[in-house]
Amino acid sequence: MIKQYRCDVFSKVDSYLKKLQSLKRDIRYYLDEEGLLRSSGEILEYRGIDPTVCGVDGAYAISKQIALDVVGIAAVAVEGLPPYEKRLWEKPHHIAKIFPVEHKSKTSTLATGLMFSYELELATKAPHNVVFIDGSLTTHLIKTGMSFSILDSEDIPSTLRDIYIERAEDTLKNYLKVVTSPKSDQVFAGVPKYSSRNEICMHLIENYPELLKVIPLNTYNDKALLSLILKPEEIVGPIRLQKYKEEGKWHLSGKTQMAKFIGPHYEDYVSRIISALEDLYVIYYKPSSSQPALRVEIPKNVAKNKARLSLVIKALQDQSKFPGIIEPYPLYLADLFVKHLGGALSEIKDIVLSDLAVLDLEMNPVDVLLAMHEYRSVGGYE
């Protein structure tokens, strides 16, 4: 079975690479003709640019114990490596919260919403010129809407519900700031590790349908295509971020709950956020021959402004050329930090059990061990 699986995988990869190799020159020619393929030097006309950079990532973990659930939510912001010893932070910034809550079926949904809320808070407070946020900027919209939608549900912990309501308006404010990047000397950019989006592939199909006769571009994503097409230091884009046909218009769910907990002015936030999402653009950047192309989502006022786009490209150059690391360095470090959250919850449980052992409490130790027995763990790294 394993042998057959290996043969099937090898056969599919081999077929894809051979077809792509035969079209590589044509695809590069088409992208160049469309003005989408450029070297980084064509954009970096402003010499002496040295942007400060940070990366933001988040995680949540749920320790499902017999008596209760323990929810851990964390967001971490890490400064990038400064090319010329210029630092704004002495150490990473973080938000970490631990909540003992009752068993509820939709705890993970609200935990995800809070995680993104904390990420957005750290991102908007960062003083850096370029702030990389792990994941697609549209994912924050989806998860934020899902969290609002369940605020009236009985299937969420009351503690998390109260905290999310308290943070609701600030979450929308921070998200709006991220997707608009209003300050001329600061850029927020989403950098998903994985994406099935295919704006470039669909653009090629629409303008050069003959490509489909050789390779099924409609079944591949842009990252897979451009990682093999681009040369080091080349960029494709900017191109407008496209919605999938089934998505229709961008929308933010949970509007009834927003009106209830934020007030009538929520409509202003929603309309401005949706307008900003309609103007999101995408670029792909290839750091080196051994690294995949990076997908970077940016607002229109960055994509169409050469000086601001130069900040993003220079930040990618400075932070993305480390062997074995396939994302900007500060995002890599932030990811390493937050993935320790699940283990931290187990350590906290052990500390609590140790404390109970030395306290003079009228408790049956067996009952305590049973109550805090962990029978399932849930983790999220969005």
CA 317, CA 274: separation in Å to the nearest integer? 31
Q: For position 375, what pLDDT does the model report?
A: 65
> Cβ(72)–Cβ(110) under 8 Å?
no
Token pair belonging to 14:
């081999």
CA 60, CA 270: separation in Å to the nearest integer? 26
CA 380, CA 373: separation in Å to the nearest integer? 21
Residues belonging to the chain: 382
Task: Please list the rounded mean pLDDT of every run of 10 residues in the chain (382 residues).
Answer: 58 65 83 93 77 94 84 94 77 92 92 96 96 94 92 94 95 96 96 87 88 77 89 94 63 83 87 92 94 95 94 94 90 89 66 62 60 58 45
Q: For position 46, what pLDDT does the model report?
A: 63
CA 6, CA 10: separation in Å to the nearest integer? 6
Q: pLDDT for 190-218, tens place per residue?
A: 999 888 788 998 898 888 888 877 777 77
CA 102, CA 170: separation in Å to the nearest integer? 26
193: left (phi over 0), alpha (psi -120 to 50) or beta: alpha
Residue 175, SS3 per DSSP:
helix
CATH architecture of 44-197+241-342: 2-Layer Sandwich (3.30)
Q: What are the distances in angstroms from CA 294 to CA 162, 289, 368?
A: 38, 12, 49
> Cβ(219)–Cβ(160) under 8 Å?
no
Where along the chain do its domains lie?
8-42+199-228, 44-197+241-342
Provide DSSP, 228-250: HHPPTTEEEEEEEPPPPGGG-S-
Q: What are the distances in angstroms from CA 49 to CA 42, 173, 191?
A: 14, 29, 21
Q: For position 216, what pLDDT does the model report?
A: 76
Minimal CA–CA distance to 235: which of 298, 324, 296?
296
> In 302-326, which positions are buried (b, 16+ CB within 10 angstroms) versus exposed (e)?
bbeeeebbbbbbbbbbbbbbeeeee
233: left (phi over 0), alpha (psi -120 to 50) or beta: left
Q: For position 25, what pLDDT does the model report?
A: 86
Tell me the pairing of strands 280-285 and 53-65: unpaired
> Cβ(302)–Cβ(279) under 8 Å?
no
